[in-house]
A and B are shown apart, each in its own frame.
Chain A
Amino acid sequence: SAVISQKPSRDICQRGTSLTIQCQVDSQVTMMFWYRQQPGQSLTLIATANQGSEATYESGFVIDKFPISRPNLTFSTLTVSNMSPEDSSIYLCSVLPQAAYGYTFGSGTRLTVV
């Protein structure tokens, strides 16, 4: 299965600033997914990022707040813009390299907004 490198692993940011999270995969994948896990909660899908097309956002998430880039089949970034304390969460990227292997997750980015 795929191996994902996600950076940074954690960060503490000031409100009003932006943070860009990177996700690098060791193999080419068509679909990449970005999830948010708020403290003590389950995972919620933010958007699906396919190479060569605009990301598809889930209800409650907008591109201005969470812009996503997908320049090639092994890399994606998620930016959390104009941050507030409510954005403090773990952000995870995920890929589905092959259906037989299931979804693989990065180790996550723990974001704290102060």
Chain B
Amino acid sequence: GNSVTQMEGPVTLSEEAFLTINCTYTATGYPSLFWYVQYPGEGLQLLLKATKADDKGSNKGFEATYRKETTSFHLEKGSVQVSDSAVYFCALSLNSGGSNYKLTFGKGTLLTVNP
């Protein structure tokens, strides 16, 4: 079956530090990959996505590159801010119809950024 494994954390960083949250996946096929962010007390927001190998998704200073050879989609940001404190979820979907449209999520990584 499909699965997503991500660094569970929690991760605590100082403002302006470099962030990496690792994410690897297992899928029967060629999935689309996503990073979602959940700020305290809120629902999920799409942060970035990539739909094929070597695609780079980027948004708000965050980046992730779809690496087929290592089945990875690591999230990075060069300089985090206090406002980036949230839970980050890596996810995949196969988009091939039927139940494969569903998202499969990793367990989430809590990021806390201190001033």
Contacts and interface: CB of A to CB of B under 8 A. Distances in A.
Contact of B46 (A44, A45, A102, A106): A102
B44 interface: yes
Chain A contact surface mostly: strand
Interface size class of A (residues with CB under 8 A): 20 to 34
Contacts of B46: 102-104
Given A42-B106, A48-B99, A105 B45 contact: yes
A92 B43 contact: yes
A99 B95 contact: yes
Given A42-B107, A43-B105, A48-B102, A105 B43 contact: yes
Given A42-B107, A107-B43, A102 B102 contact: no
Interface size class of B (residues with CB under 8 A): 20 to 34
B113 interface: no
Interface string A73-114: 000000000000000000010101001001111111000000
A114 B49 CA distance: 39
B105 A42 contact: yes
Contacts of B95: 99
Contacts of A96: 101
B108 interface: yes
30 contacts: A6-B43, A33-B102, A41-B107, A41-B108, A42-B89, A42-B106, A42-B107, A42-B108, A43-B44, A43-B89, A44-B105, A45-B102, A48-B99, A48-B102, A58-B102, A96-B101, A99-B51, A99-B95, A102-B32, A102-B46, A103-B34, A103-B46, A103-B93, A103-B103, A105-B36, A105-B44, A105-B45, A106-B43, A107-B43, A108-B43
